[in-house]
Amino acid sequence: MQVPVSPAPLDRSRNGTQLALTILAVILSVGAYVLVTLGTTGKTPPGVGGFVAVLVGGYLAAHLLITRFAPGADPVLLPCSAVLAGLGYAMIYRLNPDLAGAQFGWLMVSLALFAATLVLIRDHRTLDSYTYSIGLLGVGFLLLPIAPGIGRTINGARLWVGIGPLSFQPSEIGKVLIVIFLASYLSARKELLAVATRRIGPIRLPEPRYFGPLLVAWFLSLAILFMEKDLGSSLLFFGIFVVMVWVATARASFLVLGLILFAAGAILGYAAFGHVQVRVHIWLHALEPDKVQALGYGQLAQSEFAMATGGVVGTGLGQGHPGLIPFAATDFIFAAIGEELGLLGVSAVLLLYVVLLGRGFRAALSREDGFSKLLATGLTTAIALQAFIIAGGVTRLIPLTGITLPFVSYGGSSLVANFVILALLIRITAPSTPSTRGRPLGRHRRPRGGQLGEGNDTVAAAETVVTPKDEG
């Protein structure tokens, strides 16, 4: 007979693991910063003691909040994100010390909002009670840049909103809200979407009235592409939706149809927008200066030259010339890392993302209720697709799009949104605690006997308990 393991020793073990890994992450972050400064100036950075104190205080506070408000949560998520953010800060300092100061401020703001998310959202399942409110708010943030007077167009894309001295990308906030909305909407209707009653050739589809949300997501992604001229965000949001629908229904037909709709949207965008044609042309001919020099030869080609210069082990932090790459701190920071840390460095960065994604999808598999599964899947997919889009663009696997590398690239909006995603994933991985047991769970799957996490999910779906929602 197997003796059950008490949750208290398990929590203590995970807390110890998280603390040790977080200390290691801080050491790596500080080490990268010091090496960058030594490589460029030959001296240790001024005020390094204060930098270390603030960084240690911020991450130690994050660790203590997790142990207090999410005991037993996955101990790897915070340290992996800390290493990525620390390496990103070091490279930004290497490229532009002025930008590094702003990035460090945004990192502290991100940790504060990370803490606020953990403290305010004691049970992520309560978000399931605000489906349409969150969805409408998310769509509003996505379309906010087209509002007259506050929308800003930078480098051909209308992604920014400027209110006084504050400038930010609302799509980063909208990304999180849309994922929460989709998780709630699809968890309530996954059985209806999974029942295929219509056939189009070899593809079986559900009733059109249940199939409509996929078309709505397609039109929304096209709206982002047409009105904001943002190919990256359009691809990101549509990709998240298709993956979440596929996970909710377990029907490959949605993947096939999603690819067809994406191809149709890409062809339409290519035919309608000159800047999309330019990006594709540069992607195909990046190393042919006679064809693309007037269109931006220096950007993509210089990034490839930089990564080739880095070779296997890199030139060393502070020893390369990543400043020759235009927009190196934002769109091309992956190439800057490749030059100074080489193939081993970029492989380590990609492996950190693999660990984050593996833990996120593991959290999705471990949860019994549909909302938690879909929320963990959507949040993890958002990080995965964003990392793939920028890394694939820089390495010319796909056409380059203007999007940030999660936790690494310069950008306050992106950093804040990713730390909020991190807090939600940590909340999902945490088991039920005395502070959350007995709280209203909103609308979710409840197996027979009223114990969440017991019984078969298929049986639970047949015994769904629906509580009133704020939208009626």
What is the torsional sign of CA 176, 180, 185, 190? positive
Rounded distance between C-alpha atoms, residue 224 and residue 228, angstroms: 5
How many Å separate Cα 296 from the centre of its chain? 28
**CA neighbor of 184 nearest in space, from 219, 221, 136:** 136
Question: Residue 244 corresponds to which tokens in the numbers above?
Answer: 């979440």
Where would I find the H helices in 70-152? Answer: 77-95, 97-120, 131-143
Rounded distance between C-alpha atoms, residue 307 and residue 337, angstroms: 8
**Residue 388, SS3 per DSSP:** helix
**CA neighbor of 413 nearest in space, from 230, 172, 177:** 172
CA angle 446, 451, 454 (to 5 degrees): 85
The per-residue pLDDT for range 241-260, each reduced to its tens digit, is 889 988 888 877 778 878 88
Q: What is the pLDDT of residue 232?
A: 74
φ/ψ of 328, rounded to 5, equals: -65, -30
Residues whose CB is less than 8 angstroms from the CB of residue 118 and which lie 6 or more positions away in sequence, other chains included: 65, 66, 69, 70, 423, 426, 427
Residues whose CB is less than 8 angstroms from the CB of residue 405 and which lie 6 or more positions away in sequence, other chains included: 88, 333, 334, 386, 387, 390, 391
**Residue 395, SS3 per DSSP:** coil
Q: What is the pLDDT of residue 210?
A: 63
Rounded distance between C-alpha atoms, residue 426 and residue 235, angstroms: 26
Question: Residue 459 corresponds to which tokens in the numbers above?
Answer: 């049986």
pTM for this one? 0.85
Ranges of residues in the chain whose predicted pLDDT is under 70: 1-10, 153-158, 194-215, 217-218, 221-222, 224-230, 290-298, 432-472
> 55: buried, middle or exposed (CB in 10 Å: 19+, 13-18, 0-12)?
buried
Residue 60 belongs to what H/E stretch? helix 48-69
Do 112 and 431 meet the contact criterion of CB atoms below 8 Å apart? no
Domain spans, the chain: 444-472
